[in-house]
Amino acid sequence: MINSILKRYTDLVLLHNICKPNPLDWNYWKEWEEEYKPINNIQDCWYKNISDSIILKELEETIKKSPTSKETGPHGISNEML
């Protein structure tokens, strides 16, 4: 009701109007085929500790090694502030 009083209207957006068919073009496959092959030189041991908790000492060492005088990230926190 408030939208009609303020004369605010929304257009109906239908998914089939946004998502158009994107057929495969197999002419490009030979060009990209190598990129999609499994990588054989990746070792399982590289990911062995990936789920381990981060310890405070490790975090502090990483922060100390971070470069200074760099642009802040989206939160506006610089490495100097850490």
What confidence tens digit (pLDDT) does each residue in 20-73 have? Answer: 777 788 888 888 899 999 988 989 899 898 899 989 999 999 988 988 888 877
Which residue, among 53, 82, 55, has the nearest Cα to 67 in the 3D structure?
A: 82
Question: Which tens digit of pLDDT belongs to each residue from 2-21?
Answer: 666 677 767 777 777 677 77
* pTM given for the model: 0.37
pLDDT at site 61: 92
Closest CA to 24 of 16, 32, 34, 12: 32
Q: So what's the pLDDT on residue 18?
A: 73
Which pLDDT score is estimated for 55?
A: 92
